[in-house]
Each structure stands twice: as structure tokens, then as C-alpha cells.
Structure 1
């Protein structure tokens, strides 16, 4: 009985700790690695510097904005020998806008960029067999360089000076960050930007869609504000977390059924003692309390041990090196542990209520037990 409670509560606590860690890890990556809102031209054109400046002036007074930076982004083909894959080349202009956030995710090399240098995602580097100091060739088909033999791609060798790792698989697999000068050479865009990236402060990040709608009303009519963070995914993950909680709570219910059978057996084994107490005039409530308090205290200790077991099991799973999350399936590639006090309190309260009810059910049999029957059938 005790072992069943400890194991069931431990499994429930472990599942919730790991899923809470997954939710926080995914939320951190989505809200920290990406811009929350992008302001683009409604027709997909590049935004001229004058329009960027006027838009920044309109938004600078907004207290919820942490940073707003012009971005020139280009889809490229990157190759190393016979290996090639499609990538996204991002170039920021911090002279016009404000800070960028990618520097904190540069795990190898430097985040400082000069002409001819780039930062690449960690999985992109692995797939192409590259490391710091290697040269990556990028190709861009220029529409302004069409020959009788077809479109002429611009080929530029760039040196890898930094490795980017945010933990978000798709981003780490496709991202190249370079200088604005290199981006303009590759794309042929002499001026202008693809969009204006806006990041909100952390305490405003849950209302991205609302702020995007507000910005739509105050910016130029040729521009549109689009939320880029997938808040729907975060809501889905939260719903899945509580579904997992409900499913694993059935283990605690099964442990509660074992409590009923265990106490019923204990009552049968101690029917002689119960008969003596009844014959001496002990109230039924007193007899119930004698048995109930002992079992309830034991179950309470079992629940606490189960929570401790859940923490230990979660810690071991997070720090083991046998299995890691597959980024292409789970979006992030790292297990995380997060102990939410509210979750632990919720597990404790619900498990205790269930245990208390399961203890009371068999104790009601004592009220129906007659002294003469107990003494007749020892």
C-alpha cells in the first residue's frame, strides 16, 4: 500500500516536473530567440530607410517594447563540398534600430561580425561538416543577372566565426547571421530592409497578438504588423501538460483502491480487538480514529516521499546522457527540470484528499460490525 502511493505520486510528480520544464524551455526559446512582432510592407516590398525611421519614431514611446531593429533577410543555398541545404541569411542594422538578441546564443567563437564573417546555427554546421574558421559557400540567384544560359547565382565564400545554438531545432538548422554589407551584396538590395523586428519585454510577451493589432492601427497604411511567436503552440503544450496530469493521476487512484483493500484486510485481522473495544463501550468514532489516524499518517508520509522521489527521478532523467530530445520532433533538443511549487501543492492536496476518502470508506464497516458476531466468529 505504501509503496503504491510512493511510486504513483512519484511518477505523477516526475511527469509534471519534466513537462513543466519542457513548457518553460520551449516558451523561453520562442519568446527569447525570435522577434515577437514583424512589421512588413503589405506587398512584400523592402522598407525604405525613411519609412523605417518614421515607424521607429511612432513606436519608441511604447513602454512594452524592449527593442526594434531593422532586418534584411534573404533565402540562400549554402554548401560545403557535395553537401548543401537551404538557409536564411539575417543581417541587422543596430545603427538605426536598437539591440539584437542573438549574441547570448553564440556558444562558440565570437558574436562580433565583420565583412566576410558569419555566425551559423549549430545543426547547420554539423550537417555541412563545418566548424569555426571554415569557409561556407553561399549562393543566391540574382534576378538582375540573367544570362542566355539562365539565372546567374551570386557565389560568396564566408568564414564562420561563431556557432549559434538557441535550442530551437529549426532555427539552429537554417540560420546564418552576417553583416548588412554582405547581405546587400548577395541580394543586390542597395538600400531598404525586409522588415522591422520588434521584441516585447518579458512581462508583456503573453499579449503579442493584442499589441500587433495596436501597432497595425498606428503605423503607415502600407505596413502590417504580424505576430511571429506561435502562442497557439504554447497553449497546446499547456493543455497537454494537464492532460498528462489527469492520465497519471489515475495511478494515484489505483493506489487509493489498494488502500481500501489494505484497510479492509486490517479490520478483518483485528476484529477481535475491535470486539473487545466495543464490549468495553468504546464509541464507534473512537475505534475509527484509532485505525484511521495511523493509516492516514502513514499515507501522508508516503505522499511526501513520492514528491521527493519525483524530484530525484526528474533530476536523474534531465542529467542522464543516454536519451536526448529529438529537435525535429519536439522543437527543442534538451530536457529541462522545473519544480513549480503550485504543481507540487496541487499534487499533495489532491493525493491527500483521495487517500483520506479511501481511508474513510472501509472504516465505515466498523459501524456495521456487531459485538456478538465478532465474538462468535473469532
Structure 2
């Protein structure tokens, strides 16, 4: 492009600002901002949900569980031997033996199913769920229990109250039917992990209380292994290594066996929503086509003069593309900023919460990942670019003689 051509291009196309004030141009900018903000906010919220769900799952349950292959109890001596073997693996952070069994919690006529989990609170083994005790104490003694938040709420109990725990022993049947084992315990703490199913069923007690209630000898049902954060995603490989080292008389289960399918489903839904919201940007692109077409029709006389002076179609289209494209990029960035603010607003608002019995967690969280924002920008920029270049083809069809005659 020579200097004279550049001068007239800037004089007749870049200098006049009246096209910026046109309704179609402003509507184009607004459409891009709103569509990109919805796309960005939706991705941020779904990413936050996926991240929160994974954190809650990994925090509420062991990363690897080891138990007898025939579901028998593990003796204390065998547990000590297993711990000495497993602790040699550098990926293992903590090992906690425990007892788990299904029981019922009762308060008068209200009865709820619960999961009884017993741990050693003498200090010999780490208690991995102390951080989830929101009310009361995390170290309990005989006769005390820790109850899930929603379980306590449904039964109308709070810290300091007595709660009856019932174990329906199927092997003890009298003439009147089942003869259950039941005990009353004082609630010493409230457990709140954020995972609804766990908060609605969790009862934590001491080993001695569990042995008395279940009528068993001192032993453990399983080993709960927690891995270092950098090794969590390799739980399946580590579980396979432990299975080979410990033998087939033990069953080794990684967390991925129970939760990986759920997380894959959430990830698939996240990108499905992203694709659907991309159509909003495509709809906004129709406004881009309309705005560029309006600008070309408004400046057809100037374009005719510039063609007469020797300006090529490519140079004219390039300048139009630069001008509208710059406005489009600014609109995309503004939309991403608005989307971030919108997602943070949804996270911090207090009038709507997720239903834990449907969505597993009861809080809305946003996670703004740079890679997601780059994907949003690239997709939106490509769609806007296509919608800009499509109407610019009209410049090739403009006839100089007809334009000059009509003007």
C-alpha cells in the first residue's frame, strides 16, 4: 500500500466516527459482550463445581482402601505388618485402620440409616477427618460420637445431646424377631465435609464402642490410605503395585473405582454446556454481519473514490477488518471480565444453594482457570472473525461506475 493510498484510506474510513454511534454497531458490541460473559461465567461455574466435587470426594473418602478379600476382619498384628509394608511406598502419606458398618440412628420415632466408622483416638494412628469437625471436638473418648451435619439436623440433635445407635444383628433372632444391639452416645462433634451423602450418614466413634456395639473382638475391617497430593491421580497404578506386593488374599480399591465415573460425567457435562453456550456467540455473530454490512453500505461512495484512486479490494477489506476486529476483541475481553465478575457474584450470593441430595455438594463455587479463558477467547475470536470476513466480500462486487453515477 503506497502513502497516497494509506492517506485516503485513513481519511475516508478510519477518521469518521459516526459508524461507532450507529445502533447496529453498538448492538454488535453489546451482543458479543453478553454472549461471551455468559459463556465464560458458565465455564467458570462448571469448572468450580468439578473442582469442588473432586476435592470433597478426595477429602471425604480414602484414596486407597485395603480389606480382606473375604470381608473378614483384620487382626491387630496383621494390621501392624501391613502398615510396615505399605509405609515403604513414597506415595503414601498416612495409613489409618478403621471399622465400618451400617447401623441406624434413632431419636424417638425418627430413624435414619447411617454409616458407623470407628477409629483409634489414642494417637497411635492419624485421624484424617479432623479438619471436617466444625462444631465440638475432633478427639473423642468412650461413650462419645461425631455425627454428620445433616444427620444431626434430620434427627433434631446438636452437640451435647444423646443419640441412640442401633445395630440390627441378623445372627441374633428371638421369638419376637431380630434382637438388635443398641447404645446411646453423647454427641461430641458435628462432621461437615461438604459432601451431602457423607454428611447425612456419618457417625464416628471409638474402637472400643464399635467393638461393644457390634459384638466383635479387637480388630479392624480395613486400612484407609491417603496419598500425597502429587500422587492422587496415580492411585490406580499405586493400588495395582500394592495388590501385587501384598497378595491376592487382600482386596485393594483405589478411589477411582468408585468416583472416576462421576467426575468424567461432570467433565463431559461441562464441555457440553460450553458447546451449547458457543451458539450464543454465533448468534451474536449475526449482529456482527449486520453491523459490517451497514458500514459498507454507508461508505460505498468513499470506497468507490478509493478504488478510483487505486486502492485494492484487499487493502480496503483489511482496514475494515482491523477496525471492526479491534472492537470485537475489546468486546470479547470485556465479556470475559464481566463473566468473571458474574461467576464470583453467583459464588458469593446467599439466596440460592445447590441441593446436596441432587448435586452431591451444596455450595456454588467458581474456578477461573487461565487455560479455560484462553479457550473462550480463541473460540469467540474465531467465530467473530468469520462473521466479519463474510460480509466484506461485498466490497469485491461493488462497481465503481455505478457507485459514482448514483452519488
* TM-score normalised by L of structure 1: 0.96
The answer to whether the 8 Å contact 1:326/1:333 transfers is yes
2:287 match: 258
Q: Is it true that 1:45 corresponds to 2:72 in the alignment?
A: yes
Q: Is it true that 1:239 corresponds to 2:268 in the alignment?
A: yes
The answer to whether the 8 Å contact 1:40/1:194 transfers is yes
Tell me how far 1:225 sits from its aligned partner: 0.6
The answer to whether the 8 Å contact 1:69/1:96 transfers is no
Tell me how far 1:207 sits from its aligned partner: 2.1
Cα distance change on mapping 1:249 and 1:50 into 2, 3 Å: same
1:105 to 127, 132, 140: 132
Cα distance change on mapping 1:97 and 1:26 into 2, 3 Å: farther
Alignment of 1:17-166 (within 5 A): 17-93=44-120, 98-142=125-169, 145-166=172-193
CA distance in 2, matches of 1:65, 1:47: 20
2:7 match: none
Tell me how far 1:201 sits from its aligned partner: 1.4
CA distance in 2, matches of 1:109, 1:263: 65
The answer to whether the 8 Å contact 1:70/1:97 transfers is no
Tell me how far 1:319 sits from its aligned partner: 1.4
Instruction: Name the SS of the counterpart of 2:96 in structure 1.
Output: strand
The answer to whether the 8 Å contact 2:106/2:155 transfers is yes
2:225 match: 198
Alignment of 1:205-224 (within 5 A): 205-224=232-251
Tell me how far 1:143 sits from its aligned partner: 5.3
CA RMSD of aligned residues (A): 1.6
1:188 match: 215
CA distance in 2, matches of 1:251, 1:69: 50
CA distance in 1, matches of 2:363, 2:71: 36
| Deviation sequence 1:14-39 (CA, Å, 0-9, x none) | 00000000000000011111101111
Tell me how far 1:93 sits from its aligned partner: 2.5
| Deviation sequence 1:34-71 (CA, Å, 0-9, x none) | 10111111111111112211211211110111111111
Instruction: Name the SS of the counterpart of 1:321 in structure 2.
Output: coil
Mark the runs of 5 or more structure 1 residues left unpaired by the alignment.
none
CA distance in 2, matches of 1:284, 1:146: 94
Cα distance change on mapping 1:97 and 1:368 into 2, 3 Å: farther
CA distance in 1, matches of 2:121, 2:97: 8
2:206 match: 179
The answer to whether the 8 Å contact 1:67/1:200 transfers is yes
1:16 match: 43
Q: Is it true that 1:169 corresponds to 2:196 in the alignment?
A: yes
CA distance in 1, matches of 2:96, 2:355: 32
CA distance in 2, matches of 1:141, 1:265: 78
Q: Which has the larger radius of gyration?
A: 2
CA distance in 2, matches of 1:262, 1:30: 49
* Aligned residue pair count: 378
Instruction: Name the SS of the counterpart of 1:196 in structure 2.
Output: strand
CA distance in 2, matches of 1:362, 1:146: 83
Q: Is it true that 1:325 corresponds to 2:357 in the alignment?
A: no
CA distance in 2, matches of 1:77, 1:135: 14
1:372 to 401, 404, 407: 401
- Between 17-26 and 194-203, the greater mean CA deviation after superposition: 194-203
Q: Is it true that 1:360 corresponds to 2:389 in the alignment?
A: yes
Tell me how far 1:349 sits from its aligned partner: 1.7
Instruction: Name the SS of the counterpart of 1:190 in structure 2.
Output: coil
Tell me how far 1:366 sits from its aligned partner: 1.0
CA distance in 1, matches of 2:123, 2:138: 19
Q: Which 4+ stretches in 1 moved above 4 angstroms?
A: 94-97, 143-146
- Between 149-158 and 119-128, the greater mean CA deviation after superposition: 149-158
Tell me how far 1:209 sits from its aligned partner: 2.0
The answer to whether the 8 Å contact 2:121/2:141 transfers is no
Instruction: Name the SS of the counterpart of 1:197 in structure 2.
Output: strand
CA distance in 1, matches of 2:170, 2:381: 69
Cα distance change on mapping 1:254 and 1:97 into 2, 3 Å: farther
- Between 26-35 and 85-94, the greater mean CA deviation after superposition: 85-94
| Deviation sequence 1:175-226 (CA, Å, 0-9, x none) | 0011111111101112111111111111111122222222111114321112
The answer to whether the 8 Å contact 1:89/1:176 transfers is yes
